[in-house]
Structure 1
Amino acid sequence: MTPTPVRTLGIIGAGNVGAQIARRAVEVGLDVVLANSRGPESLEELIAELAPSAGAATVTDAARAGDVVVVAIPISGYRDLPAEAFAGKTVIDTGNYYPEYSGPVDELEQPGAPTTSELLQRHLPDASVVKAFNNLSAADVTTDGSPAGSPGRRSLVVAGDDADAKAVVADLVDRFGFDVVDAGALDEGWRYERDQPAYGVPRDRADMTAALAAAERRTERAR
C-alpha cells in the first residue's frame, strides 16, 4: 500500500540538523512547524527565511501539528519530550550519541546498551520511531539529493519496528532526493551509527547495503 504523503513536518530542534531538514522540506513542498527548548520567539529568523511555509510553536504543539515529527535534539535531552504529544505519530530520530559534546546518558553507557532510537522509543511508547537522517552531515541534507533514477544517487538508511511508519519515512527520504536502504528493526540501528562504515560516507544503494553488512558491534562505545 502506498503511504499517505506527508504534508506537514513537526521538527523538534532547530540546530544544524533540524534547520537543514526544515529547509529541504520546504524546498520539496512541505509545511514545517518548528520548536526548540528556547521557545517560538527564538526562531523568528529561520521562520522568516522559510516563510510562508514555516511556523514556530512549542514542542507540544509542533509534535501535534506534524504528520511526521522529526526529533533533532541531543539524545541527552530525550526525557524533556512530552510523550503524550507524540502519541500515534511517526517519529524520525536523527540522533547520534556523542557524549563528549552533549554529555553522557547513563542508559547508553551500560553493557548491551540500546541504540539512541530504542531509547527514544521507550520514552515515546505510543509513537512509532524510525531512525533516519543520522548518517549524513547536516549540510548534505540540502545539497546531496538528486532525482530518483539518477546514476550514483546517494542512499540513506532507515530502521524501525513499524513497517507502515518505515514506509512513510522512506517515501519522505525519497522526496528529499535519496535512495533508501532498510536496515531492519530498530535494534539494527547501530549498523549506521558513528564509527561504522555506513556512517557519514556518501554511498549509493549497493555500497550502503554492503557497508551495513560490514558493521561490527563494539562492546564499548568509542570516544
Structure 2
Amino acid sequence: MEIGIIGSGNIGSALAGYLTALGHQVSIANSRGPESLGEIAAKTGAEATTSVQAASARDLVILAIPQKAMIKLPIDVLAASNAIVLDAGNYYPSRDGKITEIENGLTDSEWTAKVIGHPVIKAFNNIVAPSLAEKAVPTGSSNRIALSVAGDDAEQKQVVIKLIDEIGFDAIDGGLLSESWRQQPGEPAYCQDLNKSKLKAALEEADISKRAENLAAADEMARPYL
C-alpha cells in the first residue's frame, strides 16, 4: 500500500518502521518539515515528506498527532482523499485545550472526522509507545497484545485489522466510531497490554457515566508528560 504518516513522534515513527519493513511505500511528515526527519527516515526507511504529500497517500493516511494539531492539517487534501484515514491520537485537555464538542459528548475521533471532512478509523491509540515499539510478535503467539479498531466502515476496519496482525498484534472490532470512547484515556481498555479476550471484556466494562471522570483522572496523571 501507499501509506502516509503525519506525526513523527513515538507512535508515528514506530509505525513507519513496521510498515516499511512489510514492504509498503511509506512517507512520513511532521509540522517541522522534511528536513527535520533525516534520522527517522534513515532508521525506518520511510520517505521524509511534507504534510501535504503524506496526506495525499493513495491507500492509507495515519494521523499520529495531538488533537490540537488537527486543525493545522491540509484539510482540503484529506477531505478529497479516497484513502482510509486512521486517527491514532488521544484527547488530553491539559495539552490540547478544552474542545467543547468533545467535552459535550463527541468522541475525539468523531471530532477529528468533522474537522477534516473525512471519515476516520480509530486505532493504535490504546497502546503505550514502548509496547508498540517492542512487543510485536508473530501470529499465534500466546503473549500477543490486542488493539481495538473502531469506525463506521466495516471494510476499512478489516483492512486495518489485517495490517495490525501483520505488524505483530492481535486486533478486534471495537464497534462504531461513536463507541471509540471505550478505548480512550482513562478507560479499562486504555494502555493495559491486554490479550483479545481481556480487551473485549475491558471494552464492555467501560461505563459511559464515568467517561468524563475517567478522562479527567487520566489527564491529570499524564499532565507531567504532555
Q: Quick check: 1:65 aligned with 2:57?
A: yes
Q: Tell me what 1:4 maps to.
A: none
State which of 83, 86, 89 in structure 2 corresponds to 1:89: 83
**In structure 2, distance between residues paired with 1:159 and 1:146:** 22
Q: Quick check: 1:157 aligned with 2:148?
A: yes
**Contact 1:25-1:32 within 8 A present in 2 as well:** yes
Q: Which structure 2 segments of 5+ residues have no match?
A: 220-226
1:117-157: CA deviations, max 9, x gaps? Answer: 101111233x3310000001112222111111112321100
Taking the TM superposition and a 5 Å limit, the aligned residue runs for 1:67-216 are 67-86=59-78, 87-109=81-103, 111=104, 113-125=105-117, 127-216=118-207
Match of 2:33, as an amino acid? G
**In structure 2, distance between residues paired with 1:45 and 1:219:** 39
Greater share of helix residues, 1 or 2?
2
Q: Give 3-state SS (helix, strand or coil) of 1:156's partner.
A: strand
- Bigger RCO (CA 8 Å, 6+ sep): 1
Q: Give 3-state SS (helix, strand or coil) of 1:160's partner.
A: coil
Match of 1:98, as an amino acid? Y
Q: Tell me what 1:44 maps to.
A: 38
After the TM superposition, which of the residue ranges 60-69 and 89-98 deviates more from structure 2?
Answer: 60-69
After the TM superposition, which of the residue ranges 188-197 and 144-153 deviates more from structure 2?
Answer: 144-153
**Contact 1:128-1:165 within 8 A present in 2 as well:** no
Percent pairwise identity = 41
Count of residue correspondences: 212
Q: Give 3-state SS (helix, strand or coil) of 1:95's partner.
A: coil
TM-score by length of 1: 0.89
Q: Quick check: 1:23 aligned with 2:17?
A: yes
- RMSD of the TM alignment (CA)? 1.5
Q: Tell me what 2:224 maps to.
A: none
Q: Which structure 1 segments of 5+ residues have no match?
A: 1-6
How far is the alpha carbon of 1:102 from its aligned partner?
3.5
Deviating runs (4+, > 6 A) in structure 1?
Answer: none
1:45-82: CA deviations, max 9, x gaps? Answer: 1112223xx21111111111252111011011111122
**In structure 1, distance between residues paired with 2:34 and 2:135:** 29
After the TM superposition, which of the residue ranges 78-87 and 33-42 deviates more from structure 2?
Answer: 78-87
Match of 2:47, as an amino acid? G
How far is the alpha carbon of 1:219 from its aligned partner?
5.5
Match of 2:121, as an amino acid? V
